[in-house]
């Protein structure tokens, strides 16, 4: 006989309200049903009252952690609509901002994950290192969380030599620190005991379920939007996709740690190759037509669809966020695991509910 128990929306391990109705049979999960809608804000409808430049600030507020990449993706979608070529320096600045966002997001997630299985000191350690990156972002963009660095037509802020030095010094400090926490996440007995062989998704199943981001790459699929020809300049910077092989929670954690090192390398390369020139081009008129733009967020692939009808407001804005793609695969992972392991598996998809519901 099975019992249905509510898991969330308020739960100690959840940073955001996601509700799962778990069907359990003697401490083993048999099925799960998600329930969303607790933080729905109607942002896609709200853009009816704002013009397409103001909409960028609304898109940045979809999520607090990956706000920079939301803004950049929206700007790129509008630029595609206008058929505008953005200056090369602005593209490099966007890459630097995106990768710094990714580092701080992954460090935040590693901390939350450590807290999820009760490793408090590791949680504090991860968040302590994240502070250094937030300071860098404050010096670069002017604010620590919602950056507003990107704008339609380029970038709103430039980097000077002093800021470049600050970023490089911060990365030099961060790299040994991340290596330090990597040792714990990879070798620690407790972490291995909680993560290895848990929530396994095969390569084929992860692909078929439409999984995105580190959850997909943790199962052995080398799919990353940054590695596609239409995505900015990542290939020039020597980008390599981080891939896991086992498809379990341990593999997903390792992918995220590898991505931090990859992002550090990308920021360093971008700073060394930063070209001179303008940082933005003027954008005037009202957009007509439709455009789709994809980008790789810390959690996975985000898709922006914009449709303009010649007025100053967009007719439609649609966002597909990575967590929305990862929820079906989460439901496939849960059957067969014990109730005590459910928080670990839910955390490994890095759920961002405010992104999903908007």
Partner 1 sequence: MGMLNLILANISSKPVTRLYPFEIRETCKEAKGRIIFNSENCILCGICQKKCPADAITVTKADKIWELNVFRCIMCTECVNGCPKNCITISCERAKTGAKEYIKILVPKVDTPKTDSPKKASSK
Binding residues for Mg(2+): 44, 319
List phi, psi (to 5°) of 313: -95, 150
Q: Please state, in angstroms and rounded to a whole number, the distance separating the CA atoms of residues 259 and 182.
A: 12
Ranges of H-type helices in the chain: 43-46, 55-60, 67-82, 88-116, 120-141, 161-187, 189-195, 203-208, 214-217, 249-272, 322-333, 342-348, 353-357
Supply 243's token pair: 């891939």
Site string for partner 1, 24-63 (x = CB under 8 A): --------------------------x--xx--xx--x--
Identify the residue whose tokens are 């010649």. 310
Binding residues for Fe cation: 66, 355
Supply the DSSP symbol for 281: -
For the bound state, the minimum distance from the C-beta of residue 41 to partner 1, rounded and expressed in Å, comes to 14
Look at the chain and count its residues.
358
In order of 179, 226, 229, 279, the CA distances from 294 in angstroms are: 31, 10, 12, 22
Cβ proximity to partner 1: between 143 and 190 the closer is 143
Cβ proximity to partner 1: between 138 and 172 the closer is 138
Cβ proximity to partner 1: between 57 and 261 the closer is 57
For the bound state, the minimum distance from the C-beta of residue 164 to partner 1, rounded and expressed in Å, comes to 13
Q: How many CB atoms lie within 10 A of CB 346?
A: 24
Q: Please state, in angstroms and rounded to a whole number, the distance separating the CA atoms of residues 115 and 113.
A: 5
For the bound state, the minimum distance from the C-beta of residue 166 to partner 1, rounded and expressed in Å, comes to 9
Q: Please state, in angstroms and rounded to a whole number, the distance separating the CA atoms of residues 133 and 102.
A: 10
For the bound state, the minimum distance from the C-beta of residue 140 to partner 1, rounded and expressed in Å, comes to 7
Q: Indicate whether 286 belongs to the interface with partner 1 (CB under 8 A).
A: no
Beta bridge partners of 35: 19
Cβ proximity to partner 1: between 142 and 285 the closer is 142
Q: Please state, in angstroms and rounded to a whole number, the distance separating the CA atoms of residues 136 and 272.
A: 17
Cβ proximity to partner 1: between 50 and 294 the closer is 50
Residues within window 137-156 making contact with partner 1, judged by CB under 8 A: 138-140, 142-143, 146, 148, 156
Q: From the list 11, 84, 163, 294, which residue makes contact with partner 1 (rule: CB under 8 A)?
A: 163
Cβ proximity to partner 1: between 11 and 61 the closer is 61
Parallel, antiparallel, or unpaired for β 154-155 and 28-35? unpaired
For the bound state, the minimum distance from the C-beta of residue 147 to partner 1, rounded and expressed in Å, comes to 10
Contact 312, 42 (CB under 8 A): no
Instruction: Enumerate helices (H) and strands (E) in the chain, giving the number of each.
Output: 13, 8
For the bound state, the minimum distance from the C-beta of residue 207 to partner 1, rounded and expressed in Å, comes to 39
Supply 18's token pair: 């996601």
Binding residues: 44, 63, 66, 319, 352, 355
Site string for partner 1, 98-137 (x = CB under 8 A): ------------------------------x------x--
Count of residues touching partner 1 (by CB under 8 A): 18
For the bound state, the minimum distance from the C-beta of residue 169 to partner 1, rounded and expressed in Å, comes to 14
> Using CB under 8 A as the criterion, which residues of the chain lie in contact with partner 1 when the complex forms?
50, 53-54, 57-58, 61, 128, 135, 138-140, 142-143, 146, 148, 156-157, 163
């Amino acid at each position: 006989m099975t019992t249905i128990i509510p898991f969330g929306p308020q739960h100690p391990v959840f940073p955001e309200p996601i509700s799962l109705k778990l069907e359990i049979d003697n401490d083993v999960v048999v099925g799960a049903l998600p329930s969303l809608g607790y933080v729905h804000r109607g942002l896609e409808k709200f853009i009816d009252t704002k013009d397409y430049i103001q909409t960028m600030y609304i898109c940045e507020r979809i999520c607090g952690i990956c706000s920079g990449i939301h803004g950049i993706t929206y700007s790129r979608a509008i630029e595609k609509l206008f058929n505008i070529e953005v200056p090369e320096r602005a593209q490099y600045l966007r890459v630097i901002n995106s990768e710094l966002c990714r580092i701080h997001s992954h460090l935040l997630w590693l901390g939350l994950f450590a807290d999820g299985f009760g490793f408090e000191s590791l949680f504090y350690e991860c968040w302590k290192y994240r502070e250094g990156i937030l300071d860098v972002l404050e010096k670069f963009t002017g604010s620590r969380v919602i950056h507003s660095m990107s704008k339609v037509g380029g970038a709103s802020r430039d980097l000077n030599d002093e800021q470049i030095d600050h970023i490089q010094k911060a990365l030099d400090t961060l790299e040994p620190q991340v290596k330090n926490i990597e040792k714990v996440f990879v070798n620690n007995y407790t972490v291995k005991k909680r993560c290895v062989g848990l929530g396994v998704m095969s390569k084929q199943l992860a692909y078929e379920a439409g999984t995105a981001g580190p959850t997909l790459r943790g199962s052995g699929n080398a799919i990353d939007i940054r590695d596609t020809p239409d995505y900015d300049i990542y290939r020039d910077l020597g980008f390599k996709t981080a891939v896991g092989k086992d498809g379990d929670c341990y593999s997903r954690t390792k992918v995220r740690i590898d991505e931090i090192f990859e992002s550090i390398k990308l920021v360093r390369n971008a700073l060394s190759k930063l070209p001179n020139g303008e940082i933005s081009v003027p954008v005037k008129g009202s957009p007509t037509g439709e455009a789709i733009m994809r980008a790789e967020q810390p959690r996975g692939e985000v898709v922006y669809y914009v449709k303009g009808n010649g007025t100053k407001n967009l007719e439609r804005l649609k966002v597909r966020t990575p967590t929305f793609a990862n929820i079906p695969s989460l439901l496939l992972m849960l059957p067969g695991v014990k109730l005590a392991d459910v928080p670990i598996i839910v955390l490994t998809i890095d759920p961002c509910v405010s992104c999903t519901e908007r």
